[in-house]
């Protein structure tokens, strides 16, 4: 008898959920959130495969990493081009005591691109939870329990500088967690914890050496101000025990870490809601991707926020054998949005240094080791502006995005003629960490080495796009993107045809794509 695979099991369960939904006078979207995307084009008409990072093939059908630019989705982990299905089996019931409600959901995500590449993560838990809420006259008390993954429980607000997710633990094991909260009209507090299991690295005489051991994290915060209007202050902090250091001289030393985040926001008609990545349930079926419903022609709404985060962790000290040191990381964001009728304007600025970018690593130059004192670092600084205008009679929304970024980089002096080269033959090498989204599938940052003696330079980008809505939740998008990146390099032979050296490539790229997308 043939065993059903994960995909067929998922489809069967989703079908059963849809039938149950119809039987209870609900729609299938209450249980299944699906996005299907068809995309065709070329992210870079001006270069062949292997000439850029990421590489660009000839024009074809299908998603590719090159379609994502540094100014895209700065407050979202998804690009919007993923074809995926989220199955939510949900149950909510009133408790036996007044004001008490109980809720539970199994949340599974099927990523179709991973299915085609036989990725074992094609079907995975996406935040299954249990929740209890007790409503009182002065506020609401809540408990959230996440038995498998707690990546949605994070510190910070702007997605690209949030921290404390599952990857804060350098482990492949599950990271369950919980959160307790109290919310009233003017203030709120919360506290929670996470746990995982990691190999214990210590001396050979310790029976725990090499064994899976449990490690914990704790976090908490407070809100002062209303959820949807006026001035609001958010504070949060956390402590993470990342296990023990496996490096020889400091093997067995505790890798502890922690940090704090703060945000000041003013809200006038455009409330700051949780992003899809931190909501318990990702999608809201009542608000399709292309929806402009409810927007009034005379709307005059705006919001603005400033956010900062400091993190630190104990790593091996490269300057002192057998010593440890605290490596700090900083991140910040400033953003503002204005809605003038059917015109929307938005601007965002991001700051992330290497200590923050590699907080989940941990370690930039060497794993579990802090950066040496002679390493000169440059933070990542990004600014982006977006303007879009909706034409309701035509269901058409043209948009413009403009951005500039200076990628994070690290520089030091390296020998140019052997390990004992004199100072005159010592050159300066700079490595650029180009990845804008540090929360990608692999959790990795892609470094690029620049030619000797050169520095990291700003990158500029612009995109023109038009969205045509054909029906609620169904749209066709055409986009044209141009970038000027002077940090693109390649290996080439020197004039003597003896050695491979780094050289700059053409910095200009031009791409275009046509995308059809449906959500239901």
pLDDT tier at 275, thresholds 50, 70, 90: low
> Where is pLDDT greater, at 245 or 278?
245
pLDDT of residue 46: 87
More confident residue, 208 or 169: 169
What pTM was estimated for this model as a whole? 0.86
Query: Is 391:445 a contact under the CB 8 Å cutoff?
Result: no
- Residue 277's nearest CA partner among 82, 518, 118 is 82
Cα angle 467, 516, 387 (rounded to 5 degrees) comes to 25
pLDDT score at 210: 85
CB 206 within 8 A of CB 194: no
Domain 31-519, what fold?
Answer: Maltoporin; Chain A (2.40.170)
Window from 48-57, 158-167, 414-423 with minimum mean pLDDT: 414-423
Cβ–Cβ < 8 Å for 448, 431: yes
Is the per-residue pLDDT at 436 higher than 60?
A: no
- Helix/strand/coil (H, E, C) string of 430-475? EEEECCCCCCCCCCCCCEEECCCCCCCCCEEEEEEEEEEEEECCEE
pLDDT at 26 over 70: no
The torsion of the CA quartet 297, 299, 300, 304, rounded to 10 degrees, works out to -120
Q: What is the pLDDT of residues 29-60, one digit of tens each?
A: 356 678 889 999 998 888 888 777 778 888 89
Contact 217, 241 (CB under 8 A): yes
Q: Give the CA-trace dihedral at 507, 508, 512, 517, to 10 degrees.
A: 40
Q: Show me where the domains of the chain are located.
A: 31-519
Across 224-239, average pLDDT: 91
Structure confidence at residue 123 as a pLDDT band (50, 70, 90): confident
Token duo for residue 259: 């940090």
């Amino acid at each position: 008898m043939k065993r059903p695979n994960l995909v067929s099991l998922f489809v069967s369960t989703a079908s059963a959920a849809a039938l149950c939904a119809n039987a209870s006078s609900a729609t299938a979207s209450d249980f299944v959130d699906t996005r299907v995307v068809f995309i065709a084009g070329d992210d870079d008409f001006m270069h062949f495969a292997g000439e850029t990072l990421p590489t660009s093939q000839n024009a074809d059908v299908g998603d590719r990493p090159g379609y994502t630019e540094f100014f895209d989705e700065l407050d979202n982990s998804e690009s919007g081009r993923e074809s995926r299905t989220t199955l939510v089996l949900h149950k909510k019931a009133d408790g036996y005591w007044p004001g008490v409600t109980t809720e539970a959901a199994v949340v599974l995500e099927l990523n179709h691109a991973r299915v085609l590449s036989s990725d074992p993560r094609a079907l995975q838990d996406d935040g299954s939870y249990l929740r209890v809420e007790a409503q009182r006259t002065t506020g609401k008390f809540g408990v959230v329990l996440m038995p498998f993954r707690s990546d949605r429980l994070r510190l910070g607000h702007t997605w690209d500088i949030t921290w404390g997710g599952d990857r804060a633990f350098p482990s492949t094991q599950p990271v369950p967690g919980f959160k307790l909260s109290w919310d009233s009209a003017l203030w709120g507090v919360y506290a929670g914890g996470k746990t995982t299991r990691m190999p214990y690295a210590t001396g050979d005489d310790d029976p725990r050496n090499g064994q899976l051991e449990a490690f914990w994290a704790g976090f908490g915060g407070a809100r002062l101000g209303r959820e949807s209007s006026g001035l609001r202050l958010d504070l949060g902090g956390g402590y993470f025990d990342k296990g023990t250091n496996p490096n020889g001289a400091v093997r067995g030393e505790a890798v502890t870490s922690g940090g704090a985040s703060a945000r000041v926001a003013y809200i006038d008609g455009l409330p700051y809601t949780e992003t899809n990545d931190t909501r318990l349930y990702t999608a809201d079926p009542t608000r399709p991707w292309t929806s402009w419903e409810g927007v009034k022609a005379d709307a005059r709404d705006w919001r603005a926020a400033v956010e900062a985060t400091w993190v630190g962790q104990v790593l091996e000290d490269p300057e002192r054998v057998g010593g440890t040191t605290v490596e700090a990381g900083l991140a910040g964001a400033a953003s503002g949005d204005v809605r003038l009728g059917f015109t929307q304007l938005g601007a965002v600025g991001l700051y992330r240094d290497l200590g923050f970018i590699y907080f989940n690593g941990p370690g930039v130059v060497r794993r579990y080791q802090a950066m040496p004192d002679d390493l000169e670092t440059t933070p990542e600084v990004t600014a982006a502006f977006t303007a879009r205008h909706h034409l309701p009679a035509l269901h058409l929304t043209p948009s413009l995005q403009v951005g500039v970024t200076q990628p994070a980089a690290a520089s030091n002096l390296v020998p140019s003629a052997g390990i004992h080269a004199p100072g005159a033959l010592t050159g300066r090498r700079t490595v650029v960490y180009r990845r804008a989204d540090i929360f990608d599938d692999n959790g990795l940052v892609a470094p690029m080495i620049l030619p000797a003696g050169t520095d990291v330079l700003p990158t500029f980008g612009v995109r023109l796009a038009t969205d045509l809505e054909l029906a609620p939740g169904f749209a066709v998008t055409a986009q044209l993107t141009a970038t000027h990146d002077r940090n693109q390099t390649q290996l080439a032979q020197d004039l003597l045809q003896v050695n491979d050296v780094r050289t700059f490539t053409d910095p200009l790229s031009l791409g275009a794509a046509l995308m059809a997308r449906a959500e239901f």
